[in-house]
Chains A and B, each alone.
Chain A
């Protein structure tokens, strides 16, 4: 039991550490000037907002001048766009491969499954060259295209959701004159909404927190994840803590709202 508690504390403590330091002056943190000793782990003796103000004014990420507002903008626009595009692609592919029989279906399905075992390391140089040649590096549309992959883990889960929906719903709609597209958008997607919402949230969080692709393909517009990693090289810990707190808070609010759905749909049950 003790091990579970200690481990849980170790995962929560970083937030306390960041919160306490984000409201301290650097002098207090490092024990300079009026402060005889460094106050690294305690709460501030004087709570100040200076670090948050600095975060809003100007931060430097490599050669790019930015601030927390711009980093937020980059993260939000990217995460929303990438999630929307990739979920649309995933739902389309998952639905037709789960519910329709057609020539080449087995080939497509097996190709996707087999190739998912191949690690993505060999394709990166070619992808970079492709993005560079097509002038898509450091463009929003480039990031959307890059992250629009339909296949992968969520594809398998969502196609299993579509498979579970009784086809009689579609047949009834067909008798009422509904076409394939209407059945897909007005019947199948709403019926599979539990799975779709869960993976939309997970994908959104994945894109929001992504570091690899944005630092490689979108470095002129640093996102929060990229910016935070870089500003640790130039800014002092209290300012970095303030930026981190501002990045964490919306995610925690999001988590507080959706945690039941997230935990239930992603963790319960495992694989059968």
Chain B
């Protein structure tokens, strides 16, 4: 009887001990999570909800639909300066997004050659990573200097071939941002995609070689399916560019005629007309979410065919 009672007491203290450990664990978990979650709640959840509220408010806090009305009324109105401002910004943003998709394609092809272990591979790796560590503002400004008629290479061109990429309102001006993005973005993407290619099993490639599989088939039938998750992330990143590209536009063209992007428009309003900026932000988020999800779904569908 005494023994049984002793056992029960032991069990009780064990249960208490277990509970104490569990309580400590929970306290520890929430102690570590409370600040990250509070930050997420304020700077993501609350700020998005608050933006929605702001978009229906005047500067003095009264309810209004004017911020949205402003957008929809001006959507098809040609402005004296800038033409169809909203339509142009949307088209230019998507153009830059497709430019980024093109960048991923070019990088994939180039990465294949790096993967094939061309001589000097390790030097290329070090150099191609440079734009990722040097301030974007420095590369952008040097790009501007080097392609400027007065301080750059165009001065060696005959007059009829000279073009001013940084003159507002010209077609060349619209090419400044995509060319810059291709220039600095290719290297990093080549490295990331090339890194993913190193996951391809050498045995499979060896077998394919013995069976006489061509380089093109090797790339499309063996390598691309293997690196699909990396490509998916890159392509989704390209769609993100449509809605977030701002710094390059701001520093290269200053948002001159026809070179404004969605993010540039919103940014230039922040601090001056926050309520209109909030309305634009909400409108484009509503557009962005289904676009991104649709692209992700399509990419997942392709991935499923390859067993992902």
Interface size on B, residues (CB 8 A): 100
Query: Is A118 in contact with B288, judged by CB distance below 8 angstroms?
Result: yes
- A125-B277, A271-B233 known; A120 vs B244 contact (CB < 8 Å): yes
Query: Is B47 in contact with A130, judged by CB distance below 8 angstroms?
Result: yes
Residues of B within 8 A of A123 (CB): 43-44, 47-48, 51, 281
Query: Is B134 in contact with A248, judged by CB distance below 8 angstroms?
Result: yes
The answer to the question of A175 belonging to the interface, with a C-beta cut-off of 8 Å to chain B, is no
Residue of B nearest to A259 (CB): B126
The answer to the question of A52 belonging to the interface, with a C-beta cut-off of 8 Å to chain B, is no
Query: Is B146 in contact with A14, judged by CB distance below 8 angstroms?
Result: yes
20 additional A-B pairs beyond A7-B186, A126-B46, A255-B130, beta carbons within 8 Å, are: A8-B128, A11-B187, A14-B142, A118-B48, A119-B288, A119-B292, A125-B269, A130-B47, A148-B35, A149-B40, A180-B24, A180-B25, A226-B137, A254-B133, A255-B129, A255-B133, A268-B195, A270-B198, A271-B196, A271-B229
Query: Is A7 in contact with B187, judged by CB distance below 8 angstroms?
Result: yes
CB-CB contacts below 8 Å: A46-105 with B:
89-90, 92-93, 95-97, 100, 102
The answer to the question of A191 belonging to the interface, with a C-beta cut-off of 8 Å to chain B, is no
Query: Hey, which bits of chain B sit against chain A, CB under 8 A?
Result: 24-26, 28-29, 32-33, 35-37, 39-40, 42-48, 50-52, 54, 110, 113-114, 118-120, 123-146, 151-152, 155, 183-184, 186-187, 191-199, 227, 229-230, 233, 236, 240, 243-244, 246-247, 251, 262-263, 266-267, 269-271, 274-275, 277-278, 281-282, 284-285, 288-289, 292-293, 296
A233–B273 CA distance with the chains assembled, in angstroms: 26
Residues of B within 8 A of A4 (CB): 110, 113-114, 118, 120, 124
Distance in Å: Cβ of A260 to nearest Cβ of chain B: 9
Distance in Å: Cβ of B53 to nearest Cβ of chain A: 8
Query: Is A93 in contact with B271, judged by CB distance below 8 angstroms?
Result: no
The 9 closest A-B pairs by CB, nearest first: A270-B196, A150-B36, A122-B281, A209-B135, A126-B50, A123-B47, A93-B36, A14-B142, A92-B32
A142–B304 CA distance with the chains assembled, in angstroms: 45
Interface centre among B113, B130, B131 (most CB of A within 10 A): B130
* Contact-residue bracket for chain A: 35 or more
CB-CB contacts below 8 Å: A214-266 with B:
216, 224-226, 228-229, 232, 237, 240, 244, 247-248, 251, 254-255, 259, 262-263
A-B contact count (CB 8 A): 250
Pick the contact of A119: B198, B244, B270, B271 (CB < 8 A).
Answer: B244
Residue of A nearest to B184 (CB): A11
Secondary structure type dominating chain A contacts: helix
Residues of A within 8 A of B233 (CB): 271
The answer to the question of A269 belonging to the interface, with a C-beta cut-off of 8 Å to chain B, is yes
The answer to the question of A40 belonging to the interface, with a C-beta cut-off of 8 Å to chain B, is yes
Query: Is B32 in contact with A251, judged by CB distance below 8 angstroms?
Result: no
- A100-B25, A151-B36, A225-B137 known; A122 vs B284 contact (CB < 8 Å): yes
Query: Is B129 in contact with A119, judged by CB distance below 8 angstroms?
Result: no
The answer to the question of A128 belonging to the interface, with a C-beta cut-off of 8 Å to chain B, is yes
23 A-B residue pairings within 8 Å (CB atoms):
A1-B119, A4-B124, A5-B120, A11-B187, A12-B130, A96-B28, A96-B29, A108-B33, A122-B284, A127-B43, A128-B274, A129-B274, A224-B135, A225-B135, A225-B136, A226-B137, A229-B140, A232-B141, A244-B141, A251-B133, A254-B133, A259-B129, A270-B198
Pick the contact of B32: A93, A118, A224 (CB < 8 A).
Answer: A93
A115–B41 CA distance with the chains assembled, in angstroms: 11
The answer to the question of A124 belonging to the interface, with a C-beta cut-off of 8 Å to chain B, is yes
The answer to the question of A189 belonging to the interface, with a C-beta cut-off of 8 Å to chain B, is no
The answer to the question of A42 belonging to the interface, with a C-beta cut-off of 8 Å to chain B, is no
Residue of B nearest to A153 (CB): B233
Query: Is A117 in contact with B292, judged by CB distance below 8 angstroms?
Result: yes
A149–B38 CA distance with the chains assembled, in angstroms: 10
Query: Is B151 in contact with A40, judged by CB distance below 8 angstroms?
Result: yes
- A121-B288, A124-B277 known; A263 vs B137 contact (CB < 8 Å): no
Query: Is B141 in contact with A270, judged by CB distance below 8 angstroms?
Result: no
A270–B146 CA distance with the chains assembled, in angstroms: 34
Interface centre among A95, A122, A148, A240 (most CB of B within 10 A): A122
Distance in Å: Cβ of B28 to nearest Cβ of chain A: 4
Residue of A nearest to B34 (CB): A92
Query: Is B197 in contact with A270, judged by CB distance below 8 angstroms?
Result: yes
Query: Is B271 in contact with A128, judged by CB distance below 8 angstroms?
Result: yes
Distance in Å: Cβ of A196 to nearest Cβ of chain B: 15
A102–B119 CA distance with the chains assembled, in angstroms: 52
Residues of A within 8 A of B26 (CB): 102
Residues of A within 8 A of B46 (CB): 126
